[in-house]
Amino acid sequence: MQKPLMRIPYTGPLPPPNIIPRNANTITGAVAALSRFLTAPPSPSLSLSHGGSDPQSTVILSGAGISVASGLADYRGTNGTYRQNKTYRPIYYHEFLANHEARKRYWARSFLGWTNLHKAKPNSAHYAIKNLGDMGIVRSVITQNVDSFHSIAHPDIPTLELHGYLRALRCVTCHNDLPRETFQESLASLNPAWAEFLTEVIASGALDTENPAERSARGVKTNPDGDVDIPGAPYSTFRYPACPRCLANPPISGDGTQTIVEVDAEGGLEPTSTAGILKPAVVMFGESITNTVKEAAEQAIDGSGKLLVLGTSLATYSAWRLARRAKERGMPVGILNLGGVRGEEAFFQDLPMAQQGEAAVRADMGTDKVLPELVNQLRRSGFSTNVDVSDPADEPHTNNTIFKDVLS
């Protein structure tokens, strides 16, 4: 008997935040508070964990809210999927591995959503973080996002993708990586009718609007991470390829038996296969983050003196535990997020009465509205930066940071 699926946490609205300090209820006030937060001396209660610590630096922990201004959906925001689509739930890792039909459905929806995701660009918030890094304020970034926008916008800031990335696929058997662009071409070749349909959907403009009601009126539901649902679509007709390495040389399984990789005449993976399944290089719901990634995230927290949380409700435990770790170390915590954050009151206990941002900040605003103004304020107050913000379309989808190999 299959055990019940895990409950998706915090799908409803979280309690509204208490703004800290009180004047952070305007952009001007929030910018002033964040400026003081980022430039204040290290907290006297900060415990230094190792010799590589930089108590004056800040580590950023970001979530889907920072990419909303790029046209991507989030989970728990005002127009988030969990609010707009009450029946939505992401595919679970064990479902993806065990069920050929579930994989068809996943890859069909991902095929439809990839074009829009791939053409989306980092927004002003991502480039503001680049500026903060060039100023020597931000030491590293931990992101829950899988869109690669951080590593495109600021490749010189060490960035850890806590939940992986969509720019590549990984074979669950041989762990070979495959670029998503190559995979997308294979999907189009295997599914010409779907490719033609995608062309029609794009031409209709159904994927261009950010308004959920308009998309729904056109028969399209868009969800985070490049998932597009077409109610009533014949997902069972969709085909997807095998891992090319396993197809060429089926490996021996862990128990010593020969695996089977079978494809149809055009190259679509057959359900009889026991190897060669490709999955997105992301941590799916119900899948565990590797110890290597966990340790890298902890080291990023321990190596800094302040934590700035951007565009996330910290609903996932993997992110919330990092904020808790920062608080337990005595790190000042700042949160810039539209809407409530899981257990946020615990991050703002015992604050000095007269503090105006030096010890904590909580603002209920969009990152794209506040962060660029914050950079301007810091420049006016004496911080300098040599930033040439190039067109993100010219930047490769790579992650050239000290964390780039943690998922290998």
Residue 141 sits in a domain whose CATH number is 3.40.50.1220
Does residue 402 sit within a domain?
A: no
Tell me what pLDDT residue 47 has. 82
Six token digits for residue 404: 């780039």
Which pLDDT value is given to residue 190? 98
Establish whether the linkage from the previous residue to 21 is cis, with ω within 30° of 0.
Answer: yes
Crossing angle (nearest 10°) for helices 180-190 and 100-119: 120
pLDDT category of residue 86 using cuts at 50, 70 and 90: low
- Whether 215 shows a pLDDT value over 50: the answer reads yes
Q: Is 76 known to sit in a ligand binding site?
A: no
Question: Which residue do the tokens 């952070």 mark?
Answer: 24
Distances (CA, A) of 97 to 229, 276, 355: 21, 11, 51
Same domain, 105 and 252: yes
- Please list the alpha-helical segments (H only) found in 120-267: 124-134, 149-153, 180-190, 192-204, 212-217, 244-248
Judged against a pLDDT cut of 50, whether residue 400 lies above it is answered with no
Question: Minimum mean pLDDT among 91-105, 128-142, 171-185, 203-217: which range?
Answer: 203-217
SS3 for 23?
Answer: helix
92 appears as a binding residue in the annotation: no
pLDDT at 75: 54
Mean pLDDT of 13-23: 93
Report whether 177 belongs to an annotated binding site: no
In degrees, rounded to 5, the angle at the alpha carbon of residue 248 between the alpha carbons of residues 243 and 250 is: 80
pLDDT of residue 328: 95
Q: Out of 282, 313, 341, pick the residue that ends a domain.
A: 282
Assess contact for 128 and 372: CB atoms under 8 A: yes
DSSP state of 284: -
What would the mean pLDDT of 143-159 be, rounded to a whole number? 97
The answer to whether position 180 is within a domain reads yes
Quick one: 106 and 127 in the same domain?
Answer: no
Looking at the fold, whether 92 and 206 belong to one and the same domain comes out as yes
| Whether residue 130 sits in one domain with residue 62 | yes
- Is 163 labeled as catalytic in the residue annotation? yes
Q: What are phi and psi of 33, to 5 degrees?
A: -65, -45
- Longest pairwise C-alpha distance within the chain: 72
Helix (H) / strand (E) containing 281: strand 278-282
Q: Is 78 within the bounds of a domain? A: no
Least-confidence region, from 34-38, 212-216, 288-292: 212-216
| HSE toward the beta carbon, residue 346, CA cutoff 13 A | 12
Q: What is the pTM of this model?
A: 0.88
Q: How does residue 389 score in pLDDT terms, banded at 50, 70 and 90?
A: very low
What is the domain range of residue 307? 22-69+122-163+290-394
Same domain, 97 and 206: yes
Same domain, 179 and 59: no
Count the domains in the chain.
2
The tokens describing 95, both together, are 């479902």
Q: What are the pLDDT digits (tens) for 237-274?
A: 999 999 999 999 999 998 999 999 999 999 999 999 99
205 & 260 share domain: yes
Domain end marker among 251, 282, 313: 282
Does 408 carry a binding-site annotation?
Answer: no
Task: Choose, from 126, 163, 175, 397, the residue flagged as catalytic.
Answer: 163
Residues 158 and 172 reside in one and the same domain: no
Domain assignment present for residue 327? The answer is yes
